[in-house]
Structure 1
């Protein structure tokens, strides 16, 4: 439970930092965007690092939420508190969408794709007494 709460907090903080450190180019032109990345290497590196760490943290929560719903529907025992914390990722993305729609959309897509790729439904069946 604490691990999921940490992932929830880290996912939001990294998403917020990524949005604040990304260069704003309005209207969007690819050449201006790349130029901003080149001339601000520290902010660019920090934004990419926070993007990577944040989408991994959110992907863990998405994977956990999907796995827990599947196990709940199949009749296995699931902790309700952990399920609620896993669905806290929806609140994370809601608040991030209020800040920047495009960057949060990319953040969400990467998190969902990686979370779905890492689902392992056989793992908990072997160790179902772990609950």
Structure 2
């Protein structure tokens, strides 16, 4: 349970930091974006690092939340924590919906692929 709490905190924090450290997107100007990317590389690299960390954490939360669809037994407390932690995507979609859709698509596919991989390993088919 402690691991799930840490994963949910990392997911929410990395989502916030990714959106905060990314160069400004509204109104989008390629010159401003590239200038910010080149002249503040630490912020840009930290934003990309938070993106990858957020993809992994949100993918794990999605895998946990969707594991009941795969026919596994799930504790109701863990399932509720996963769903509650994933509710931060509502805030992310309010901030910038295109970026949020991209930020949701990667963890979704990562979580579904890891869900399928674990099921194959548990069944002994791999």
Superposed pair shares fold, TM > 0.5: yes
1:90 aligns with 2:86: yes
Q: Which residue of 2 aligns with 1:41?
A: 41
Q: Which moved more, 1:116-125 or 1:44-53?
A: 116-125
Runs (4+) off by over 4 Å: 123-126
Q: Take 1:25 and 1:35, find their aligned partners in 2: how far apart are those partners?
A: 13
Tell me the TM-score normalized by structure 2: 0.83
Q: Deviations over 1:8-59 (max 9, x none)?
A: 1110110001101111143324343223211110110110111111111000
Q: Which residue of 1 aligns with 2:99?
A: 103
The secondary structure found in structure 2 opposite 1:68 is coil
CA RMSD of the aligned region, Å?
A: 1.9
Tell me the TM-score normalized by structure 1: 0.80
Structure 1: stretches of 5+ with no match in the other structure: 127-131
Q: Deviations over 1:76-106 (max 9, x none)?
A: x421111111222431211222222222221
Structure 2: stretches of 5+ with no match in the other structure: none
Alignment size in residue pairs = 122
How far off is 1:122 after superposition?
3.7
